[in-house]
Amino acid sequence: MKSRSLSTLSLIIRHEARILVRDRTLPLVCCVLALMVGYGLFVGLAQATLRDRMVAQVAKHEQETQRANTGTLQSVLAGKSALVPFSNPANPAALAGTLAGRFATIPNAPLAALAIGQSDMMPNYYRISYLSKVQFMYDTEIENPWNLLSGHFDLAFVIVFVLPLLVTTLGYNLLSAEREHGTLRMLCSQPLSVPTLLTGKIVVRMLALLAIAIPLPLIVVLLIRPETRGVEQLLLMLSWSALITAYTLFWFAVAALVNATGLSSSANALIMVALWTTFVLILPVTMNLVVGLVSPAPSRTELASRTRVATAESLREFESLYSADYRYASDPEALLVKGERIEVPSRMRAFFLAKQRVDEKIEPLLERFDRQLLQQQRLVDRLSLLSPAILVNEALNSIAGTDSRRFVAFKDQTEAFHNKWRQYFSPRILESRAMTAQDLSSLPQWHWIEIPASETSWSIWWRTALMLALAFMVGGAALARSSRSNRIAV
Amino acid sequence: MFAIIAAKDMRELARDGRLLWAGGLILVLLLVALAAGWNRQVQLNNERSAGQALDYDAWLHQGYRHPHDAAEQGMHVFKPEPPLGVFDPGIGPFVGSTVWLQAHRQSEVKFRPAQDATGLQRFGELSPAWLLQVLVPLLIIVIGFNSMSGERERGTLRQLLSLGVPARSLLLGKAAALASCAGVLIAPVGVGFAAFLVARLPAGERLDVVYRISWLAAGYGLYLGLFVFLTLAVSALVRSSRAALVILLGFWVAATLIAPRTASEAVNLLYPTPSRLAFDDHLSHDIAGAASKAWAAHFGARTQWDPSLPLSKWGAALKVDDAAGYGALDENFGGLWDTFERQQRAQEWVGLVAPVVALRGFSMGLAGTDFSQHRDFSTAAETQRRKIQDIVSEDLIKHADPLGNAHFTYKAGPELWASVPPFKYQLPSVSFALAHHWGSLALLAVLFCLSVALAHYALSRPLMR
Amino acid sequence: MLDAIAVTKQFGAKRALDNVSLNVLPGEIYCLLGANGAGKTTLVNLFLNFLQPTSGSLQIGMIDVVRHPLETKRLLAYIPEQVTLYGVLSGLENLAFFSSLAIGERLPRPRLLELLEAAGLPRQAADDRVATYSKGMRQKVGIAIALAKNAKALLLDEPTSGLDPSAANEFSELLVKASNDGVAVLTTTHDLFHAKQTGTRLGIMKHGRLVEELRSEDVSHADLEALYLKHMKS
Ligand SMILES: Nc1ncnc2c1ncn2[C@@H]1O[C@H](COP(=O)(O)OP(=O)(O)OP(=O)(O)O)[C@@H](O)[C@H]1O
Ligand SMILES: [Mg+2]
């Protein structure tokens, strides 16, 4: 009995494949998909390469500065170089600030090419110095805002937006076309159940779409980017494939359910487009609004005002340092390293201290922003249950390492590093200790600590599992309905 | 004759579930978007004008201080939200609105709202403009795809033609019915909101906003009209309702969703945007170059802040140094912004196949939320910063330079602070926007005429085949 | 073989079938006659489980149609008024597909050709796309499908309408041949002449009721016509 229905299923599958190839629907749709996947991947790869290059450039920059500082320090110590307070690396205040040449960078995740996510908007490096956080943490990557508004044509877009449309193209008339054409009567007079028929039809279409959407990008990425060949990355790719399969299955299940209602092809197409518009366009946009209303970000205007107040207060606090006599222009000798000491000009000390004080004062407010953003993200996680598109989009970005979570982690680590940087210099500046060649090579180093893989994979797999459950629920309903539906053939 | 047909079609559409459901949903979304946008705008504008006033007040009352330190504290200025930003926030979420005018730093507009939002922001912003650009065309397609093909399939077309109804009346009647269905949804809300908005504005700004609204109405009218006629044309040309629906939906998806993204990718290849690192490097290189030239010319110094320059010349040196930088800043930022504008203009050609691209630029422009108007604000803020800087340097030359090593003990007082005027920014007028965007409007008009011609051709062919 | 037991079918307020009982034995050709809307197609649809009866039951070979739809469909073949096939496939491919669906195994090409020939389709048309076929040719592929299935019961809904007289004759011959092999045939028709000629039993329906059942050998052509018209008028 079971083998009988299996052989029927495989017969239907072969038959469908032949029909779809003969009437050129399948080749056409597959070509469109292949083109779009290819282009989306190209865009993703281009962006990832751009960012890779940027990180490499930053590293080079950092090394060059380091080398230049070491050179200058040597000539300063040998008394060969004329002295300007801001460009004397023996002066800890100068090295902490203008000469720092330190960067915090976040490397691309290996699969970054699969989704651009937030990476076009969030900076992937910060320039570290003693400047206050408000001065450097809000630098952003340069991008035409119009392009940010349009969004990128990346693989995630193809999957989240276009793939369901192609599913709709292939699936809006699964049964209705057969009914309108009259072949459904012929089929139903054979020992064949409608659920088997539906399953067979969906399997062919789904295999065809997935055979392009999944292997194509993975193979390209594996070939072009050697860093994707680790076990961890392969696992991520597996979850990526599972996610896409689940999402495709969901849309086919929706198509099956719509077809099981027994309406006309046009009505089916309308319903499918209405559902697509709701899930992919309207719900995310509305939820964005809801998130902003329920959990609004604190006011940036307030931050600006607070910064001003804090700056004014710290200027006042260090007033005496700011206005101390400045004799280094007329007496450069004063800047020489004497023993282990160097005179840090009081104005420079004032800069350092004032910036530090500003940060201390606005820290709570900045924390409020971070907390708020985290809260918003949690809200999104919960609301994303309402729309498969959001669910999948978030998971795709997680896999590619371009989700907001990773950038928030980057910001946090940068802040910590910035504090460390200051703490390193603070005693040296206060005690007027000169920087030595040895110090220069043991300055605080930036290390990006990747978010734990377990955290990412958890956030990906629960979404995938949910997507699958949803797909099976809808699909089950569709099959149940189609087997009960008695008017399907008439 | 055409009125009879329009009336009959409208009755049919009114009895059909499609218009009721889809239209109802759009109407609700429209109201929500307007309410949320209005709320946000009022709050932001109040906050910003209060913030800016406080800031200036603090500037005036900062007490006695070395002018250079005062410039260090600087001044915050905020971009006012244009009144029609409620209708179309444009690039707003992706550009900041706050500038901290500080010494020696080109004022950059910071705090992009999108950075304070989640990844959802990238799906788009629920704004009335988005609804009119994306969903209303879909509505027109959904209610109109079978307006001709349906008549043919039911056989009523045979009936109509046998009665001697001319094709022209048929076209006009059907177009009028579709357009009035869309109009009934949008017009009351639109007119109501426009009246509300204009009434709340100070009298001086009213006229400008009224002009902007009328131009917007024209642009959107052409755009939606284009969809009405296109829908009719396809419905008449194609054999079955199903085919008409599939073709129209395909066009809608390609034109409103895929084309804008593809266009922005393509122009990025054509006019590449520099990375920040490259841009910053280039800028500092240019500034350093210009500065050393200026230092050599004015003080005979080999490098910037050369130790050979006595402290008594630092006021003058600041002035020379700053002035040398202005050129490099103008050139670099100007170049970057020109690139952005060139990118956008290039994209507008895509409007030929995807009218939404043309409309989007036009809509933002007239709402005052496009890049050119953002650039105008940035330029104004930078001018203010230079004003502060110049006043400060001048004062230093006069007072601090004679003090020798005690240069930094000099303290300026309230008179100097008061000599810096408050930052007053006037939003550009409608003519500024039109000068930038008349091309898009012309493009929309051409497309509209083409769609009318296509519909006319489709209906004047023998209809019964 | 084909049994309808006190079947009633209600469409909302409309009663399409009213307590109809009928039984077709192996080797019989049962012709259902009746005006438009009398309920003939509804009865055929019920046997196919395309519709479910409001009350009563239907059986094919003593198996209940509603409870075991797949088993009963294995026993029967169905040829609708319009045999609709996949236009992009050839007649042979269509036959191959439907026959493997029906019997669960793929028949070899020579056997398929044999079946098409038995159904009367010209050999050279077998590999043409069905989109190019005439109505009669499609009907013949339908017959071939039924033949391939080796069905115990045959359901036909106005099979000869729209066929030219010689094609209709050929068709009738095939029916007779099938019934001689022990197949139970239920066919609806408006063609009294053919019904009398090929049918072994005749049933006349009116407003959902089976108002008359008779053996065709018991009446002459003229009697049948008179009887039919009498029922229609009253
Ligand atoms: N799906 C349905 N829903 C509602 N009423 C139906 C349905 N199918 C058939 N009917 C009604 O049932 C009655 C019987 O229809 P049926 O198609 O069985 O007639 P018929 O004898 O085959 O007529 P014809 O000779 O025209 O083919 C008709 O009045 C028809 O209107
Ligand atoms: Mg009938």
- Using CB atoms, list chains with 3+ pairs below 8 Å to chain B: A
Looking at ligand 1, which atom is closest to the CA of residue A487?
Answer: 1
Of C52, C88, C98, the CB nearest to A19: C88
Q: Which fold has domain C2-75+151-233?
A: Rossmann fold (3.40.50)
- Supply the range of the domain harboring residue A485: 1-299+365-490
For residue B68, what pLDDT is reported? 77
For residue B2, what pLDDT is reported? 77
Q: What is the spatial distance between Cα B311 and Cα C195, in angstroms, rounded to a whole number?
A: 123
pLDDT in tens, A240-288: 999 999 999 999 999 999 999 888 888 898 899 999 999 999 999 888 8
Task: For residue C158, report the distance from its CA to the centre of ligand 2, in Å.
Answer: 7
Of A286, A316, A322, the CB nearest to B66: A322
Pick the residue with more confidence: C86 or B72? C86
From B5's Cα to the closest Cα of chain A, the distance in A is: 24
* Within a domain: A341: no
For residue B365, what pLDDT is reported? 93
In this complex, is the C-beta atom of B319 within 8 Å of any C-beta atom belonging to chain A?
A: no
Looking at ligand 1, which atom is closest to the CA of residue C51?
Answer: 1
Select from A373, A374, A366, A356 the least CA-distant residue to A306: A366
> Which of chain A's residues have a Cβ under 8 Å away from the Cβ of C80?
182, 185-186
In this complex, is the C-beta atom of A390 within 8 Å of any C-beta atom belonging to chain B?
A: yes
Q: Which ligand is nearest to the CA of C156?
A: 2
Q: Give, for ligand 1, the residue of C15, C42, C44 to mutate: max count of ligand atoms closer than 8 Å to Cβ.
A: C42
Strands A102-105 vs A125-128: parallel, antiparallel or unpaired: antiparallel
Share of chain A above pLDDT 70, in %: 94
In this complex, is the C-beta atom of B251 within 8 Å of any C-beta atom belonging to chain A?
A: no
What mean pLDDT is reported for chain A? 86
* Within a domain: A360: no
> Which of chain A's residues have a Cβ under 8 Å away from the Cβ of B412?
none
For residue B465, what pLDDT is reported? 52
Query: The whole model's pTM is what?
Result: 0.89
Q: What are the E-state strand segments in B309-460?
A: none
Test A193 with C93 for CB contact under 8 angstroms: no
pLDDT in tens, B84-94: 999 999 888 88
Share of chain C above pLDDT 70, in %: 100
* Total tally of structural domains belonging to chain A: 1
Tokens of A107: 């490397």
* Within a domain: A57: yes
Of A12, A23, A490, the CB nearest to C51: A490
Select from B30, C57, B279 the least CA-distant residue to A289: B30
For residue A1, what pLDDT is reported? 53
- Measuring from atom 25 of ligand 1, which residue has the nearest CA? C36
For residue A392, what pLDDT is reported? 93
Provide long-range contacts, Cβ within 8 A and 24+ apart, for C157-161: C157/C40, C157/C41, C157/C44, C157/C78, C157/C79, C157/C80, C157/C81, C157/C187, C157/C188, C158/C81, C158/C188, C158/C189, C158/C190, C159/C79, C159/C81, C159/C187, C159/C189, C160/C189, C160/C191, C160/C194, C161/C81, C161/C189, C161/C190, C161/C191
| Residues 6 or more apart whose Cβ sits within 8 Å of residue B173 | B1, B2, B3, B4, B5, B6, B8, B9
When pLDDT is cut at 50, 70 and 90, the band that residue B441 belongs to is very high
- Measuring from atom 24 of ligand 1, which residue has the nearest CA? C36
Of A22, A190, A487, the CB nearest to C101: A190
For residue A328, pLDDT over 70 is answered with no
Select from B238, B260, B456 the least CA-distant residue to B353: B260
Range of lowest pLDDT (B43-52, B183-192, B425-434): B43-52
pLDDT in tens, A367-424: 888 888 888 888 888 888 888 999 999 999 999 999 888 988 999 999 999 999 989 9
> Which of chain A's residues have a Cβ under 8 Å away from the Cβ of B113?
297
ipTM above 0.95, yes or no: no
Instruction: Over range B196-206, report the average pLDDT.
Output: 88
Phi, psi of B125 (to 5 degrees): -115, 130
Tokens 């003519």 appear where? B431
* Within a domain: A323: no
Do A404 and A377 contact (CB within 8 A), yes or no?
yes
* Within a domain: A333: no
Domain boundaries, chain C: 2-75+151-233, 85-150
> Which of chain A's residues have a Cβ under 8 Å away from the Cβ of B115?
121-122, 138, 140
pLDDT in tens, A426-461: 888 888 888 888 888 888 889 999 988 888 888 888
Task: For residue C3, report the distance from its CA to the centre of ligand 2, in Å.
Answer: 19
Pocket-forming residues, ligand 1, beta carbon under 6 Å: A 490; C 11, 14, 16, 34, 36-42
Choose, out of A32, A33, A150, A394, the residue to mutate when testing the contact with B (most B CBs < 10 Å): A150
pLDDT in tens, B212-269: 999 999 999 999 999 999 999 999 998 888 889 889 989 999 999 889 998 888 888 8
pLDDT in tens, C12-43: 888 989 999 999 999 999 999 888 888 899 99
Pick the residue with more confidence: A400 or B321? A400
* Within a domain: A339: no
Do C16 and C9 contact (CB within 8 A), yes or no?
yes
Instruction: Over range C114-136, report the average pLDDT.
Output: 90
- Measuring from atom 16 of ligand 1, which residue has the nearest CA? C39
> Which of chain B's residues have a Cβ under 8 Å away from the Cβ of A323?
66, 408-411
Task: For residue C42, report the distance from its CA to the centre of ligand 1, in Å.
Answer: 6
